[in-house]
Amino acid sequence: SQQGEEDPQALSIQEGENATMNCSYKTSINNLQWYRQNSGRGLVHLILIRSNEREKHSGRLRVTLDTSKKSSSLLITASRAADTASYFCATAGSQGNLIFGKGTKLSVKP
């Protein structure tokens, strides 16, 4: 029961560039979350944006939410090699639990 879908599936950029990842979802939401996963590790929560918010910042991260288009984007500015990871969006599933997309794999080359 996939709720969110990230796009692109993979992204390769140079250090210092900005990285933008998108998430589209199907049903109305109360909030949307973004997580990061380093290779072979667990996921780490990055940011939660509520349905009445349009934009949220956390350090070099900027998340936007457009409920009319049922989409969100995660922007990482001035990327670093350490940002290399997979990024997932998560929204509520039919049982009221978090459902994750398949993720965007970001590679930042030094």
Partner 1 sequence: DVKVTQSSRYLVKRTGEKVFLECVQDMDHENMFWYRQDPGLGLRLIYFSYDVKMKEKGDIPEGYSVSREKKERFSLILESASTNQTSMYLCASSLGGVAATNEKLFFGSGTQLSVL
Which of 20, 22, 24, 31 touches partner 1 (CB under 8 A)? 31
Run of H or E residues at 49: strand 43-50
Any contact of residue 40 with partner 1 (CB under 8 A)? yes
DSSP tag of 27: S
Binder among 43, 76, 106, 108 for partner 1 (CB under 8 A): 43
Q: Which stretch binds partner 1 (CB under 8 A): 14-22, 64-72, 76-84, 85-93?
A: 85-93
What single letter denotes the amino acid at residue 31? N
Distance CA 109, CA 21 (A): 17
How many Å separate Cα 55 from the centre of its chain? 13
- Residues in the chain, overall count: 110
Does residue 1 belong to the site contacting partner 1 (CB under 8 A)?
Answer: yes
Residues at the contact surface with partner 1, assessed by CB under 8 A: 1-2, 30-31, 33, 35, 40-45, 48, 88, 90-93, 95-103
